């Protein structure tokens, strides 16, 4: 399982408008869709949080970027 939080998304959304924020989310979601394996699942669980269920992946510890 992996969790991605888009840091500073609220600031971007407020500064550039909700239409631009929506477009950013769509772009991010499309990038994720083409990056995960067919057996993996990706979910948007919050305004700027995404959860990935990575089938068969082995844990390697937590990482932050």
β-pair partners for 36: none
CB 17 within 8 A of CB 65: no
Which residue in the list 5, 7, 40, 48 is annotated as catalytic? Answer: 48
Task: For residue 22, indicate whether it is catalytic.
Answer: no
Q: Tell me the angle at which helices 18-35 and 9-16 cross, rounded to the nearest 10 degrees.
A: 140
- Residues annotated as catalytic (active site), given as ranges: 48
């Amino acid at each position: 399982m992996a969790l991605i939080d888009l840091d500073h998304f609220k600031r971007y959304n407020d500064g550039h408008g909700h239409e631009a924020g929506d477009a950013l989310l769509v772009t991010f979601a499309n990038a994720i869709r083409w990056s995960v394996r067919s057996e993996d699942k990706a979910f948007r669980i919050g305004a700027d949080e995404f959860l990935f269920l990575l089938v068969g992946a082995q844990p390697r510890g937590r990482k932050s970027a």
